[in-house]
Each structure stands twice: as structure tokens, then as C-alpha cells.
């Protein structure tokens, strides 16, 4: 599949169809994959594809605005929703970017992998996808790790293993079977079962740990505002120190701003240096939007976003 | 801050409730309640807005996180908005925000949306009284801002 990717990108660059291509490349560590920008034909070999390519590259689609030409992007099924949303939110024109869709069979959660191996990630020399397992190279040795132990949470209920929005595609895969016995919102529902007091304790504990590095905001495809509400000095929505109350405002307002826009790429949770389970917060947002307004972000270009729309017969418990 | 308020009033806790009232209906309703000399708890701080849809949900989150005991958003009855459809947006936001707040452990009673028209002075007084009672029962909101 990697060869096919190289072939397509080489052709695109040779034809001058794109100014550069954004895919995944090797990072500083062997287990580390980083976004990779390719502008020359002879650099194409740098591009990699595998189960460590977790990043949502759709954020880079916004770069097309600054260029005369087009930008090429490698997009997984889950990230294709971001492309649809960006077009819908009038941030990019669909014809400003060239999307290469890639079929994905699940991505590795490095934190889970570290736990399962019981070894620091530095010893991991590579991860391969072999059907229902991952083949992890540890030093000289190759270990088989079952997918259900190390998959990212969102991959358990993956609905789009194949990118549905693309100009070129690297092929299709059958969705792999994982008997997770859980629904998409299982973790949220678990938390909802708790009492209000317990939930408060849970979230206060999580928010108190936040150092407000803003990584979740920077990585989010939907956080493209030139001036973010949290950077505004007048009005000043939050104070700079990462105190519990301020952190709470920060995370709740982010949840609010992503209502109807969060496409469940899981990037916020992945980049959080404090391991705050932001996925749980944003999954709740998606759940409510789906239940209250029957809306799913990034699926249909013509569907109006829920909070700028209304129906005369919406629920009205307020009287 | 809420704790201070609690101690100040030895006889009981008087909640501080932020009320956003629509200029065209609820604010006039509040006015009517006043000129009708209806009795109601002095727990409210009313802010007049041109439409209940002017109330950004961020206002509510910030107010509650900074320690106010409750937020009450008052708008026109659905279908009676001065701008035709503002309160329909308020309704959707209210539905969503209430669930989000509950999820992170903020009592849903602390954020309420009600429809009060300009002729409903009595309803305004009743609403204020009812919400105040509910929040009194919950006790002060935790002072969050500087913990």
C-alpha cells in the first residue's frame, strides 16, 4: 500500500497538480510517526503508512488557503469527516485540496502499548499490522500483540475504515472484527450511570490536572479561529494560571464550541501530556448532539449544523 | 464568595442568581412584577439582553464556574420572539448545555431556561421564587474560581 501511495504522490508532484503532499513520515524515534511534508519527487520515499499513523492530517488542509496551488493530503476514513466539516464550515474549498484516501485497519494507542509491553516505548522498533494482531518489533524480537489490547478506543467502533471522501484511494479493506461487545458510547454511558457527586469528583480531578498547554486546541482540526476566545484580552474569558475553575471553563467552552463539529478523531486525548480523558467529554457532546438533534458531524455536506438551526417541534422542557 | 454570603446571613443562605432577561418580554415581565408590587426573593441580579439568544452559553459556564449559585435565562415563549426565531436557538442551546453541565457534575437546577412574556409579571415572581427555593435546597455553589 505504501508503494501505491508513493506512486500516486510522485505522479501528483510530477504533474504539478499539488505544491506539496502531507502524509506520515518517520519521527525521531522508531516508534514515532510524524506528519511529513513532501514537495520534491525524490522525497516521496519518506512517506510511510502503518498502524502508528494516528494523526488527523486534515488540520493541514487549512494550509491550502496560503498557497496558489493545491495541497495533497493523506486521509483516513475517520479523518475524512474533518474534510467534509471544513468545507461545510467554509474554511476550505474542496477543490483546493487533493485527498488521497487510505483504508485503515486500526491505529495503535501508544500508551496502551507501553502498558501491555511493560517496557518503555523506546525499545519498540516498529509495529506492523497482521490482520487481527499487531506485530511489534522489540529489539531483535518480534512480538504478537492482539489488536483489542492496544487499539485506540475509537477504533473499536470504527464506522469508516475506508475513506469516503477522496480523489484517489489506496484501495478498500474489510472492517476487521473485534468482539468488543461495547457500543460507541459505552464509556460515556458508564460515566452517566454514576451519581452527580461522583461525576463531579471525577471531572474535578481531571480538570485539576490540566496544565493548559493548549495542545488539545492546537491539534484540533476545528480550532482554526484566528483569535481564540481564550486568547482574547477584552473580554477576558479565563485567567492565565491553570487553576481548577479556569480549567473547567476552558474545557467546557471547548466542548461547547465543538458541539456538532467534533468528528471524534481523538487527537485531543492523544496529545494531552496529562492524560486527561478528553475523549469522554467530547464523546458526550457527540452523543447529545446525536440524540437531541439527530445530527452527526462530517457525514453530510448538506445537513445544517445543529446549533445554528432549529425545528419548531424541538423538545421544550422549559415552559 | 458563596460561602461568605452563606455566613453573612445567619438566618439562612441567600443564593445569588444571575438572570438574563429578554428586553421584549421577560424584562417587561419583571417590570410588571415590580409595579404590581409582587413579593419575591431578592436573590436575582438581572441583566437585560435584547434577546435570549444573545446569551452565549459561555456566559453560563463562566458564571457557574466563577461561583454564582445559579443562572436563569428568561425569554419569550416559543413562537413569540420579537426577532421571530431567536428563542428557538436558545431552546436548542439550553437543551444541550443542561446535559453537558450535568455530565460534569453541576446540578441541572443551577442553570434554568424559562419562558416569561411581558404580561406575565406573576409568572416572573413565581419563577424567581421557585428557582431560589431549588437553589437554596442545593446550598451554595462551590467557589471554583480560585481553588
Q: Are A41 and A14 in contact (CB under 8 A)?
A: yes
Whole-number pLDDT of residue A316: 85
- If asked whether residues A217 and A245 sit together in one domain, one would say yes
- pLDDT number for residue A174: 65
pLDDT reported for residue B65: 86
Given a cut of 80, whether residue A164 has pLDDT beyond it is yes
Task: Please judge whether A245 and B112 are an interchain contact, meaning their C-beta atoms are less than 8 angstroms apart.
Answer: no
Nearest to B115 among A253, A309, A319 (CB): A319
| CA distance to B30, B43, B115, per residue, from B122 (Å) | 9, 17, 13
Percent of chain A having pLDDT more than 70?
97
Q: Measured between CB atoms, which of B61, B96, B114 is closest to A292?
A: B96
Residue A283 predicted with pLDDT over 90: yes
Say whether both A190 and A294 belong to one domain: yes
Average pLDDT, chain A: 89
| pLDDT, position A245 | 87
Q: Would you place residue B147 in the very low, low, confident or very high pLDDT band (cuts 50, 70, 90)?
A: very low
Residues A60 and A201 in one domain: no
Domain annotation covers residue B96: yes
pLDDT, one tens digit per residue, over B17-27 is 999 999 999 99
| ipTM higher than the 0.85 cut | yes
A138 occurs within a structural domain: no
Instruction: Answer whether residue A258 is part of any domain.
Output: yes
- Which residues, in sequence order, are bridge partners of residue A47? A25
- State how far the alpha carbon of A148 is from the alpha carbons of A105, A112, A181, A276, B127, in Å: 12, 10, 11, 21, 52
One DSSP character per residue, A274-303 reads T---HHHHHHHHHHHHHHHH---TTS-TTS
* Phi, psi values for residue A89, rounded to 5°: -85, 10
Instruction: Specify if B85 maps to a domain.
Output: yes
> Mean pLDDT across the stretch B46-59?
95
Residue A193 has pLDDT above 90, yes or no: yes
Which element (helix H / strand E) includes A21? strand A20-26
Q: Is residue B20 part of a domain?
A: no
Same domain, A169 and A234: no
- For cell 476552558, the residue is A250
Which residues does chain A have within 8 Å of residue B61's beta carbon, measured at their own beta carbons? 249, 252-253, 256
pLDDT at res. A166: 86
**What pLDDT is attached to residue B91?**
93
Residue B147 lies in a domain: no
Q: How far does A55 lie from chain B, in Å, by closest CA?
A: 27
A268 and A242, same structural domain? yes
Domain extent for A229: 183-314
DSSP state at residue A99: E
Q: Which of residues 81-110 of A touch B (CB under 8 A)?
A: none
Whether B89 has its CB under 8 Å from any CB of chain A: the answer is yes
Query: With bands split at pLDDT 50, 70 and 90, how would you rate the model's confidence at A230?
Result: very high
Q: How many residue contacts between A and B have a Cβ separation below 8 Å?
A: 105
Q: Which pLDDT score, from 0 to 100, does residue A147 have?
A: 85
Structure confidence by residue, pLDDT tens digits, B67-108: 899 999 999 999 999 999 999 999 999 999 999 999 999 999
Q: What is the pLDDT of residues A38-86, one digit of tens each?
A: 999 889 999 999 899 999 999 998 888 888 889 999 999 889 999 999 9
Q: Which of A149, A179, A209 is the last residue of a domain?
A: A179
Q: B105 and A199 in contact by Cβ < 8 A?
A: yes
pLDDT for residue A206 is more than 90: yes
pLDDT at residue B145, as a whole number? 42
Q: A152 CA to chain B: closest CA distance, Å? A: 23
For residue B53, being part of any structural domain is answered with yes
Model confidence at A180: pLDDT above 60: no
What domain range includes position B78? Answer: 28-138
Name the pairing type of β-strands A168-169 and A97-102.
parallel
Give the total number of structural domains in chain A.
Answer: 2
* A232 and A167 both lie in a single domain: no
> Do A225 and A87 share a structural domain?
no
Could you tell me the three cell numbers for B76? 419569550
Express as a percent the part of chain A with pLDDT over 90: 45
Q: How far apart are CA B96 and CA B89, in angstroms?
A: 11
Give the range among A161-170, B58-67, B113-122, B131-140 with minimum mean pLDDT.
A161-170
- Please count the structural domains in chain B: 1
Q: Is the pLDDT of residue A121 over 50?
A: yes
Q: Are residues A42 and A166 in the same domain?
A: yes
* C-alpha span between A280 and A22 (Å, rounded): 29
Q: How far is CA A102 from CA A7, A12, A51, B20, in A?
A: 14, 16, 12, 49
- Please report whether residue A75 resides in a domain: yes
A189 and A87 belong to one structural domain: no
**Are A172 and A250 in the same domain?**
no
Q: Give the global pTM.
A: 0.90
* Grid cell 452559553 in the structure block, residue: B57
Q: Is the pLDDT of residue B55 over 50?
A: yes
User: Does residue A57 fall inside a structural domain?
Assistant: yes
Please check whether residue B93 lies inside any domain of the structure.
yes
Residue A242 φ/ψ, nearest 5 degrees = -80, 65
* Domain identity same for A165 and A220: no
A39 and A172 part of one domain: yes
Amino acid at each position: 500500500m505504501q508503494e501505491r501511495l508513493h506512486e500516486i504522490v510522485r505522479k501528483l508532484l510530477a504533474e504539478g497538480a499539488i505544491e506539496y503532499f502531507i502524509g506520515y513520515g518517520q519521527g525521531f524515534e522508531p516508534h514515532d510517526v510524524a506528519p511529513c511534508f513532501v514537495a520534491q519527487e525524490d522525497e516521496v520515499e519518506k512517506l510511510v503508512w502503518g498502524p502508528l499513523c494516528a494523526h488527523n492530517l486534515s488540520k493541514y488542509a487549512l494550509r491550502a488557503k496560503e498557497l496558489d496551488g493545491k495541497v495533497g493530503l493523506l486521509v483516513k476514513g475517520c479523518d475524512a469527516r474533518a474534510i467534509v466539516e471544513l468545507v461545510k464550515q467554509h474554511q476550505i474549498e474542496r477543490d483546493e485540496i487533493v485527498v488521497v484516501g487510505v483504508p485503515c485497519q486500526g491505529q495503535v494507542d501508544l500508551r496502551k502499548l507501553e502498558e501491555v509491553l511493560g517496557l518503555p516505548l523506546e525499545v519498540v522498533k516498529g509495529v506492523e499490522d497482521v490482520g487481527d494482531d499487531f506485530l511489534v518489533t522489540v529489539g531483535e524480537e518480534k512480538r504478537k500483540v492482539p489488536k483489542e489490547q492496544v487499539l485506540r478506543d475509537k477504533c473499536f467502533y470504527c464506522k469508516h475504515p475506508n475513506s469516503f471522501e477522496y480523489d484517489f484511494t489506496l484501495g478498500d479493506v474489510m472492517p476487521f472484527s473485534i468482539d468488543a461487545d461495547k457500543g460507541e458510547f459505552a464509556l460515556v454511558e458508564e460515566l452517566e450511570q454514576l451519581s452527580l457527586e461522583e461525576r463531579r469528583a471525577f471531572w474535578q480531578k481531571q480538570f485539576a490536572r490540566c496544565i493548559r498547554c493548549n495542545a488539545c486546541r492546537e491539534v484540533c482540526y476545528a480550532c482554526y479561529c484566528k483569535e481564540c476566545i481564550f486568547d482574547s484580552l477584552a473580554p477576558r474569558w479565563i485567567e492565565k494560571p491553570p487553576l481548577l475553575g479556569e480549567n473547567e471553563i476552558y474545557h467546557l467552552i471547548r466542548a461547547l464550541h465543538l458541539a456538532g463539529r467534533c468528528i471524534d478523531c481523538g487527537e485531543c486525548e492523544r496529545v494531552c501530556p496529562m492524560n486527561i480523558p478528553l475523549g469522554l467529554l467530547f464523546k458526550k457532546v457527540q452523543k447529545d448532539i446525536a440524540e437531541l438533534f439527530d445530527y452527526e458531524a462530517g457525514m453530510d455536506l448538506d445537513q445544517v449544523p445543529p446549533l445554528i438551526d432549529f425545528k419548531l417541534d424541538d423538545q421544550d422542557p422549559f415552559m | 464568595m458563596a460561602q461568605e454570603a452563606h455566613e453573612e446571613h445567619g438566618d439562612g443562605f441567600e443564593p445569588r442568581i444571575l438572570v438574563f432577561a429578554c428586553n421584549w418580554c421577560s424584562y417587561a415581565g419583571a417590570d410588571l412584577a415590580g409595579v404590581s408590587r409582587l413579593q419575591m426573593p431578592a436573590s436575582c441580579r438581572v441583566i437585560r439582553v435584547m434577546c435570549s439568544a444573545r446569551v452565549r452559553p459561555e456566559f453560563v459556564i463562566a458564571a457557574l464556574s466563577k461561583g454564582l449559585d445559579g443562572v436563569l435565562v428568561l425569554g419569550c415563549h416559543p413562537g413569540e420572539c420579537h426577532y421571530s426565531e431567536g428563542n428557538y436557538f436558545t431552546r436548542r442551546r439550553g437543551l444541550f448545555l443542561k446535559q453537558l453541565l450535568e455530565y460534569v457534575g453541576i446540578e441541572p437546577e443551577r442553570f434554568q431556561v424559562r419562558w416569561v412574556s411581558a404580561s406575565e409579571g406573576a409568572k416572573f415572581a413565581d419563577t424567581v421564587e421557585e428557582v431560589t427555593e431549588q437553589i437554596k435546597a442545593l446550598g451554595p455553589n462551590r467557589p471554583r474560581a480560585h481553588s
